[in-house]
Amino acid sequence: MTDHHENDQVSNESSLEDAKRRRFLTGITAGFGAVGGAVAVTPFVLSMTPSERAKNAGAPVQYDFSRIENGQMVKVEWRGKPVVLLKRTPEMIAGLEKIEPSLADPTSLDSVQPVYAQNDARADAAKPEMLVMEGICTHLGCSPVEKLAIGPDPEMGEDSQGGFFCPCHGSKFDLSGRVYKNVPATSNMPVPPYKYDGDVITIGEDDGRTA
Ligand code: FES
Considering only residues 105 and 16, tell me which one the structure prediction assigns the higher pLDDT: 105
Give me ligand 1 centre to Cα 140, in Å: 5
pLDDT of residue 54: 64
- Out of 2-11, 78-87, 177-186, pick the least confident: 2-11
- Across 91-116, average pLDDT: 96
- The mean predicted confidence, pLDDT, of the chain is 83
Residue 18 predicted with pLDDT over 60: no
Whether the predicted pLDDT of 46 surpasses 80: no
Nearest CA to ligand 1 atom 3: 169
Q: What is the atom index within ligand 1 of the atom nearest the CA of 142?
A: 1
**How many angstroms does the Cα of residue 183 sit away from the middle of ligand 1?**
9
- With a pLDDT cut of 70, the percent of the chain lying above it is 73
HEC string for the chain: CHHHHHHHHHHHHHHHHHHHHHHHHHHHHHHHHHHHHHHHHHHHHHCCCHHHHHHHHHCCEEEEHHHCCCCCEEEEEECCEEEEEEECCHHHHHHHHHCHHHECCCCCCCCCCCHHHCCCCCCCCCCCCEEEEECCCCCCCCCCEEECCCCCECCCECCCCCEEECCCCCCEEECCCCEECCCCCCCCCCCCCEEEECCEEEECCCCCCCC
**How far apart are the C-alpha atoms of 80 and 78, rounded to whole Å?**
5
Q: Please state, in angstroms and rounded to a whole number, the distance separating the CA atoms of residues 23 and 35.
A: 18
> Which of the pair, 12 or 93, is modelled with greater confidence?
93
Query: Per residue in 111-136, pLDDT tens?
Result: 999 999 999 999 999 999 999 999 99
- Say whether 139 is catalytic: no
Which residue ranges make up each domain of the chain? Answer: 2-47, 59-203
Q: How far is the CA of 94 from the centre of ligand 1 (A)?
A: 27
Our mutation pick for probing the ligand 1 site, out of 134, 137, 143, 189, counting the most ligand atoms within 8 A of Cβ, is 137
Residue 172 pLDDT > 70, yes or no?
A: yes
CA–CA distances in Å: residue 111 to residues 54, 118, 166: 27, 9, 17
Which is nearest to 193 in space by CA: 127, 116, 141, 136? 116
| Structure confidence at residue 58 as a pLDDT band (50, 70, 90) | confident
What's the pLDDT band for 36 if we cut at 50, 70, 90?
very low
99 Cβ neighbours under 8 A, 6+ residues apart: 159, 160, 161, 163, 174
Any residues with CB less than 8 A from the CB of 191 and at least 6 apart, and which?
Answer: 112, 113, 114, 117, 122, 132, 133, 134, 177
Q: What fold, for 59-203?
A: Rieske Iron-sulfur Protein (2.102.10)
pLDDT-based confidence at residue 42 (cuts at 50, 70, 90): very low
Has residue 89 got a pLDDT over 50? yes
Residue 101 reports pLDDT greater than 70: yes
